[in-house]
Every structure is written in structure tokens, then in C-alpha cells.
A and B are shown apart, each in its own frame.
Chain A
């Protein structure tokens, strides 16, 4: 049988790779088999325990049943299936691993129980050997049986818990509906979603899920995107708006044109990013990885050393054997191996549920250590939809208003800058497109403005600072600029043929959620810095509105990365940069953690370590909070796993025996081992309870 390759899908639209179902089936089969093996083992082990306890009741040699019940031969008969049927996977696994020069938990369990069983078999067949040494003729079948039963129980619980750690990915994969209603010759036809192609028109009725990504062409509705963005409030969708696959249509019917299918959809990309994060490792995990690599061979060496030392001290091979078995079965490499990945699995899945996509485990790790968060102003703190609020002509202006607006708009229409778009929109509301003259020698200077020849005039539109650099006398502008900047407006000045003509006050109001989001960052103890290309006064006015005290203004796009680097060099790191524009990409990459708003460009998202699908700034604090909780969880797991093994192995090796006379019974050692990995997974599962702190309703 050959399962589909993991290369990116090219001709089918199913976002989940084929093995997912097979793996689910296999996991279910494994749980069923484990349950059956555990049940049989538990029954037989109870009988072995009763048989072995019989001779001890009241310290007299009375039996609980007929004498044959307590016979070593009966115990052998009951124990053998426990080891070699219920626990056969330990032995086959250990043998396979041994052949590959590898050792794992199976090796320890198989060696420990096998030695106890073999010793007991020798005692059963040749009891006179112990009698000659003056030792009681004891067998240890129940030790082997109890260890196998407990480890099976541990494995069963662990298999259940491990299934839950990956449930976020499973939920995401299940979000996509299996079919879509596609228009064929104007008639809706239900087809599997895997056959939907780009350009198809799809009808979505109320209560149905949007099958793939597209642009709404007919109708309107409220669509709930909570499952992808974490935002509970439904979003209004009208003609021209984007809809994303797996979102839920709440009210009206609409038709949309498919723009992305298969691996290109937002949902598929989220699933891929979460998978990537779950496949990466944290710095802290590298230490655990190194330990796990040589853990089992070293434990086997320690167990043999314990046997030799105790034999040399006591000359008692049975005592030495029990120390050997205890050391083998108490060591739990699985707890070490599971400590970090399970927490990362749960946390990255939990993040995805809340619209927080971590690109790697390292991003999850670093986000918790952040000290400074740098926020780009436009589009991140503000709505990113600037509007002209003021248009002021200067006393020395020569051109009539309409002519001036036409020249300005003609030049700005060649630029894609948001402020240019605002000026064009304003001009369009005041005069007609057809009146706009042609533009020659157009030049856009990043972060400064634009210039060119328009209708025979030399026109420059840009920041006052730039125009001052171009030797334009800016003194007449001063009385107009101060009130505009105090209102948090960006100022764009128009110069025609070297004469200062007018200025625009352009306002980009803060997002309603910004104030609460900044407050949440402050509560986490972070230094919040606003980065803006605007003049200092207008940038400070926006900062004051949202509650930011530290502003770095008049930064050109190309210098944003340098500002982040400077903060890092000043020892204010780790630094996060939050942005959404193409020009933010270098700064996002320079930062220790780049956080892109999901509403932003693909370039920004590609350069980021964390993506906030909803575009809600509150996600920054939520991501940092989740990261801190995850790292605390990982530290607890690693501490527990290391402490357990570091404390457990010496006790099992009999370090306390000369001092206290205490011996750790191998059965207790087996129980401790079985439950140590269960407790690690259970602790990681606590992260499933994570809920980001909601913002006040008014700010959503």
C-alpha cells in the first residue's frame, strides 16, 4: 500500500494529507488492543498476587486457597501469558531496537521483567540452589506481572492523552466542509470540495460553511470566522469582500468566486504552519534531546553496576538482582522525551484555535521572554484607512483650488501609499477624474513623498521635512502645521513650480481595540514603543490617544529594521516588531519575534514568527501570555522528568539501603515509571484550558 506523498498538493483540494485517517484508525486500534491486553494482564496479575501473598498471611505459612494455588508452578503458569502475550510488544520492540543498535523504554521494561521472570524460573526448577545458600525459596513472578500490568495501564492512559494533544489539528482539518454547491450553467450542483477549481462560483446558504477562499460577488451576509481568527463577533460581508474557507455563514445567502483552493487556502496554510511549529524544537528541548540519546544505555550500565556492587557487598545474588530490576524499570526516558513536544503540541494547537499562529517552537519559546514590543503605527495601531480631514491653502498660493487638487491628485494617483490614496479620494470628491492632467518623470521617494511633471508644472507632494531638504521655504507653513499635528494628523505639503501652495491634514484614527491591547501589554510588564514615519508631534498625538509613552517618529521605511537593531543593541531585547505592510518585512525579520497582522500582506506574514489571523492587536498580548504559560508548563515537565529520574534511579539502586534499610520494591518502581510519563502528558494537557483574556466589549 502506498500513501500519498507529503509534497504539496497540486491537483486535489483536500487539505488534510491522506495518512491522517489511517493514523486515527491505527491509534484507535492500538487503544483497543492495549485495553484488552491490560484487562487480561490485570486479571492474571491479581491471581498471581493472591497466590504470592498466601504464604505471608499473618506471617504463617497458611494459604488463601488450596496448596497448589500458591505453588511457584501455578504462578509461572499465570505470569507467562502476562509477559509474553499481554506484554509481547515490549519484548519484540526491545529485540527490534537491539538489532538497530537502539535502546528505548521497551528495552528497560523487557530487561527488567525478563530478568525477574528468568530468576523465578530458575528458582522454580532448581529451588535447592537457594536452600544451599540459606535463602528463602522466593519467586518474583508477581513483580514481573505487576510491572507489565502497570506499564500497560500507563501506556493506555498515555495513548489516550497523546490523542488529545493533537486534537487542535484534527479540529482544524474537520472545519472544511466535505462538499460545495457550485454553479454549473447557472444551476447549483453539489460536488466534493476536492473538485472545486479556482474561478468556480459557489453558493452558500445561511447556516452553511464556506468551503474554500474567494471573493463575494452577489448577496451579503454576516460570517463567523471565530474558528480561524478567534474573533467571536460575526463579520459583515458584502460584494467585493473576501470570504475564507471554513467560516460559517450566519444570515443571508451569497455567491462567491473561488480564488484559492487546496493547499493555498488560509485554512490549509494555518494547518501547515501549526504542523511546522509542532515539528520544530525549542532551545530548551535540545538539552533534553541530548540526555535522551544516551539515557537508556547509561541506565542499563547503572543497573548492571548496582548488581555488581550489591553482589560484592552482600554476596547475595537475589538481593543484587532486585536492585538491578528496580533500576531498569524505574528509569523513564519517555517522560524526558515527552516533556517539551507535548506542551508545544497543545500550545500551538491552542494558539491556532485563538487565531495565534506560531511559526516554530522557538517562536513560542522566545515570545515569552520578550521585553520590548515595537508597534508600527499605520495599520497596526490605526485602522490603516487614512482620510483627509483638513485642506489648507497657504497665503502665497497662486493656483485655484480645483487646478491645484487636479495636479496633486494626478501625481498621487501614481503612488500606492495609503496617504496618497487618501488625497486622491479627497480630490475625487471635489473634482472629476477627467480633469486630471498627465504625469511625466514620476518619482516616489520612500517615506518622503512623490514628485513629477504634471500638466507642464513641476509638482512635489511630501512631508514638510523633505520639502525643507529640497530648499523650499517652509516658514509660512508653521502656523498651519502645529494645530494639525496636535490633532494627530499627518501633514502632506504641495509645492508647484517651487511655490508652497497648500497642505493636507490626513488622519488615520486608532483602532477601537488599540487602547485595551496596549494596556494588556503593559500589564505583562512590556516596554511598548510606537514606530512611525510621521512628524514627531502627530506621532506623539496618536501615541497619547492609545496610551503609548515612547515614540520613535520620522522613521523612513528602510530604517525600521535599523531602529529594531538599535533597541536590541541597547540591551532592550528580546524585541518584538508588530507590523502589517511590505515595508515592515525587514524589521519583522530583524526583530527577535516578528508579529504580522493576518489582515496584512503575505510578504509580512512570510517574514514573521507569529501571525495574528484576526488582525486584532489584542492577539499580541495573548500570544505572549500563551508563550509564557507554555514555557512555564515545559519547565514544570522537564523539572519533573529530570527530578524523577535523578531521584528515582539512585533510590532504586539502593543508595539509601545502607542508611535506612529501605529498598524500593521493583513493583513500586514500575508503577512510578508508568505514571511519570502519564503525569507529564497530563500536565501539558492543562494548557488546553488556556483562554486569552477578552478585551472590554466596547473596544472590540
Chain B
């Protein structure tokens, strides 16, 4: 690598144009396009419907969420007007996921590593209520449906 390429600079000698066969160009374009479509589908398209909360002994809805690079399950379906306990188990060492925030409920929860922590919420109205990590990079969704 040349020294000049360390900074914003003209680096023409290295970046010479190479004639490539049209079929190769076509193949690269097709593969690139396919990758983009596949990648956008993987990250942005909805994957499956929400996991339903289980019923606790006292009638409370309960869901256990594993925090490992994301929330597993990322989408949870619960019934409106009934108490909900979300139990988080964090195994991801990244401090980015050390806190989970429920902005619509004005609640947050610290998630110590390798520990199980819970938060009680009362989703009163049907609707979609996102939750996310402190930086809003890792996201989950509470899907509250009418009873």
C-alpha cells in the first residue's frame, strides 16, 4: 500500500482499470443485488408472529426473554389489561444491551450479565409497544391484543 493512500489523496497508479469479461460483471451485479435483497429481507422483514406469553399460577402473563445479540423472542404477543411479567436473562457480554427500555411505559431495567431480572408491566391498551437497549440498536416488540 502506498503512503499517500493513508489520507484523502489521489492514488491513481494503484487504482488502474482492468478489463473484465461482461459475464463476470453481470455475475457480480446479480450476486450483489441478490445479496442486498436477501440482507434487507433478513434484517428488516418480519420473521414469524409474536410468541404468546404463558400464564403464571396467579393469572399473570409471563415471558422469558434471552438477551444474546438481540431479544429472543423479539416479538411477544400479550393480552391487554392483564399484568405482564417479562423475565430477562442476559448472556451477551456487550454493555450495549445492559439496559432495556420501555419508552411507552416510562420504565427501564438494568440487566446484569449472566443473571435473570424481571419487570412487571400492565399493558392497558391494545397496540404495538417497542422496547430496546440503551442505544436503541437492539429492539423488541410487545404486541398487545384485545382480550
Binding site for B on A (CB under 8 A): 1-3, 5-7, 17, 19-20, 22-23, 26-27, 30, 52-53, 56, 89, 93-106, 133-136, 138-140, 142, 159, 275-281, 288-289, 292-294, 296-298, 300-301, 304-305, 307-308, 311-316, 319, 333-334, 337-338, 341, 360, 660-665, 667-668
User: Is the CB–CB distance between A100 and B32 below 8 Å?
Assistant: no
B115, chain A: closest CB distance, angstroms: 5
- Verify A106–B94 contact, CB threshold 8 A: yes
Residue B81, interface by CB 8 Å: no
B64 within 8 Å of A (CB atoms): no
Q: Which A residues lie within 8 Å of B69 (CB)? A: 93-100, 102
Chain B residues near A159: list those with CB within 8 A. Answer: 95
Q: Which of B1, B68, B74 contacts A96 (CB under 8 A)?
A: B68
Please determine whether A52 and B1 come into contact, CB atoms closer than 8 angstroms. yes
How far is A312 from B35 in the complex, measured between Cα atoms in Å? Answer: 16
For A134, the chain B residues whose CB sits under 8 A away are 16, 18
Residues of A within 8 A of B139 (CB): 102, 293
Given known contacts A22-B115, A96-B92, A99-B69, what 12 new A-B pairs fall within 8 Å (CB)? A6-B119, A19-B115, A30-B95, A138-B1, A140-B1, A279-B105, A307-B32, A308-B29, A308-B32, A316-B17, A661-B11, A667-B6
Q: Pick from B5, B98, B135 the residue with the most CB of A within 10 Å.
A: B135
| A340 and chain B: residue at smallest CB distance | B136
B12 within 8 A of A: yes
The reply to whether A56 and B1 contact each other, CB–CB distance below 8 Å, is yes
Q: Which of A6, A294, A305, A665 has the most CB of B within 10 A?
A: A6
B146 contacts the other chain (CB 8 A) = no
Q: Which residue of B lies closest to A297 (CB)?
A: B43
Smallest CB gap from A100: residue in B: B70
Among the listed A142, A305, A663, which residue makes an inter-chain contact with B36, where contact means beta carbons less than 8 Å apart? Answer: A305
Q: How far is the CB of A295 from chain B (nearest CB, A)?
A: 9
Whole-angstrom distance between the alpha carbons of A360 and B8 in the complex? 45
Cβ-neighbour of A133 out of B3, B9, B18, B40 (below 8 A): B18
Q: Are B112 and A26 in contact (CB under 8 A)?
A: yes
Set of chain B residues within 8 Å of A97, measured between Cβ atoms: 69-70, 138
CB < 8 Å neighbour of B32 from A89, A136, A304, A661: A304
Is B18 within 8 A of A316, CB to CB? yes
| B115 engages A279 (CB within 8 Å) | no
Contact among B39, B107, B134, B137 for A333, CB-based, below 8 A: B137
Known: A20-B110, A22-B115, A294-B44. A102 touches B138 (CB 8 A): yes
The 8 Å CB contact of A279, one of B6, B102, B113, is B102
Q: Is the CB of B96 within 8 A of A5?
A: no
A23 to B109, CA, bound (A): 11
The reply to whether B44 and A6 contact each other, CB–CB distance below 8 Å, is: no
- Are A100 and B68 interface neighbours, CB within 8 A? yes
Interchain CB contact under 8 A, A3 and B116: yes
Shortest Cβ distance from A685 into chain B, in angstroms? 16
Query: Which of B36, B116, B136 sits near A301, CB closer than 8 Å?
Result: B36
Q: Which of B108-145 contact A (CB under 8 A)?
A: 108-120, 130, 132, 134-139
Chain B residues within an 8 Å CB radius of A277: 106
Could you say which interface size class chain B belongs to? 35 or more
Chain B residues near A89 (CB, 8 Å)? 93-94
Q: Which of A94, A138, A315, A341 contacts B134 (CB 8 A)?
A: A341
- Chain A's nearest CB lies how many Å from the CB of B43? 4
Q: In the complex, are the beta carbons of B16 and A135 less than 8 A apart?
A: yes
Provide the residues of chain A in CB contact with B40, threshold 8 Å: 297-298, 301
Counting residue pairs across A and B whose Cβ atoms lie within 8 Å, the total is 210
User: B72 to chain A: which residues have CB within 8 Å?
Assistant: 100
A sample of 22 inter-chain contacts (CB < 8 A) reads: A6-B117, A19-B111, A56-B3, A96-B68, A98-B42, A99-B70, A101-B43, A102-B69, A105-B137, A106-B94, A278-B108, A279-B108, A288-B136, A301-B39, A308-B28, A314-B16, A316-B17, A316-B18, A338-B135, A341-B134, A665-B7, A668-B7
Q: Which residue of B lies closest to A662 (CB)?
A: B8
- A312's partner among B28, B95, B117, B130 (CB-CB below 8 A) is B28
Q: How far is the CA of A32 from the CA of B74 in the complex (A)?
A: 31
Residues of chain A within 8 A (CB-CB) of B5 are 663, 665
Closest residue on chain A to residue B91 by CB atoms: A96
Question: Of all chain B residues, which has the CB nearest A337?
Answer: B135
Instruction: Determine whether the beta carbon of B115 is less than 8 Å from that of A319.
Output: no
Return chain A residues, CB-CB under 8 Å to B101: 279
Interchain CB contact under 8 A, B1 and A662? no
A22 to B115, CA, bound (A): 10
Contact B116 A1 (CB under 8 A): yes
Cβ of B93 and Cβ of A289 under 8 Å apart? no
Q: Is the Cβ of A104 less than 8 Å from the Cβ of B106? A: no
Most buried by B among A96, A293, A319: A96
Which of A19, A135, A136, A140 is in CB contact (< 8 Å) with B112? A19
Residue of B nearest to A300 (CB): B39
Check if B14 is an interface residue, CB within 8 A of chain A. yes
Inter-subunit contact B8/A664 (CB<8 Å):
yes
Q: How far is the CA of A387 from the CA of B109 in the complex (A)?
A: 50
A99 — which chain B residues lie within 8 A by C-beta? 69-70
Q: Are A2 and B116 in contact (CB under 8 A)?
A: yes
A136 touching B8 by the CB < 8 A rule?
no
Query: Inside 8 A of A341's CB, which chain B residues have their CB?
Result: 134-136
Q: Are B18 and A315 in contact (CB under 8 A)?
A: yes
Closest to A298 in B: B40
Inside 8 A of A100's CB, which chain B residues have their CB?
68-72, 74, 138
- Which single member of A23, A289, A334, A338 contacts B110 (CB below 8 Å)? A23
List B contacts of A300 (CB < 8 A). Answer: 36, 39, 43
Q: Which residues of A contact B28 (CB under 8 A)?
A: 308, 311-312
Chain A residue at smallest Cβ distance from B68: A96
Docked Cα-Cα span, A19 to B100, in Å, equals 13
Question: How far, in whole Å, are A94 and B68 apart by their CA atoms in the complex?
Answer: 10
Nearest neighbor of B25 in chain A, beta-carbon distance: A312
Q: Is the CB of A663 within 8 A of B9?
A: yes
CA distance A276 to B104 in the complex (A): 10
**Which residues of the partner chain B approach A53 to less than 8 Å between Cβ atoms?**
3
Is B102 a contact of A662 with CB atoms below 8 Å?
no
Please tell me which one of the listed residues B43, B98, B135 contacts residue A103 in the complex, with CB atoms under 8 A apart: B43
